[in-house]
């Protein structure tokens, strides 16, 4: 029986841009990776490798798979919001329906994969968040 999600794997022909997006902007950390015969990296949230990145010489065409998006639980809504803006990463924001009203930020990584960041409903967005979204 499945006990939990282990990791996602993505392919990229832009390893440095992908590392920058997930490490410098979103805060994952690069960690140990087995000596696979192809270049890549493993990115960690705490002690868990949650994203495996494999370098390819050319992206597959058409892009394959049926994965709609990957979602990560996150903290520091205001700080992440500002960092995304500073790095020119386009994103959208919604409040999840229902009673929890989780903040959800959606963006694309440099390879076209959709990434969702979920923040606690009690976190506060920037004071002018509605104006910022309309810019």
Backbone angles phi, psi at 67, to 5 degrees: -65, 125
**Contact call for residues 50 and 7 (beta carbons, < 8 A):** yes
In order, the DSSP letters of 19-88 are HIIIIIIT--EEE-----SS-EEEEEETTEEEEEEEE-SS--SSPP-----EEEE---HHHHHHHHHHTT
């705490």: which residue's tokens? Answer: 46
Question: What's the distance, CA 43 to chain centroid?
Answer: 11
| Predicted local distance difference test score (pLDDT) of residue 125 | 86
> pLDDT truncated to tens, each residue of the chain (135 aa)?
767 889 999 999 999 999 999 999 999 999 999 999 999 999 999 999 999 999 999 988 877 777 788 999 999 999 999 999 999 999 999 888 887 789 999 999 999 999 999 999 999 988 887 766 765
| pLDDT of res. 100 | 79
Query: Topology of 8-60+68-134 in CATH?
Result: 2,3-Dihydroxybiphenyl 1,2-Dioxygenase; domain 1 (3.10.180)
Contact 106, 115 (CB under 8 A): yes
Write the CB contacts of 27 (distance below 8 Å, at least 6 apart in sequence).
Answer: 74, 80
Strand, coil or helix: what is 111? coil
């Amino acid at each position: 029986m499945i006990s939990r999600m282990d990791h996602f794997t993505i392919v990229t022909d832009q390893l440095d841009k992908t590392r920058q997006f997930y490490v410098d902007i979103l805060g994952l950390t690069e960690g140990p990776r087995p000596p696979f015969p192809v270049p890549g990296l493993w990115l960690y949230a705490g002690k868990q490798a949650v994203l495996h990145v494999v370098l390819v010489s050319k992206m597959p065409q058409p892009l394959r798979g049926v994965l709609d998006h990957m979602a990560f639980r996150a903290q520091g809504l205001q700080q992440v919001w500002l960092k995304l803006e500073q790095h020119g990463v386009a994103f959208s924001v919604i409040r999840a329906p229902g009673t929890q009203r989780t903040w959800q930020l959606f963006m694309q990584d440099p390879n076209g994969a959709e990434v969702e960041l979920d923040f606690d409903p009690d976190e506060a967005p920037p004071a002018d968040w509605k104006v910022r979204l309309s810019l």
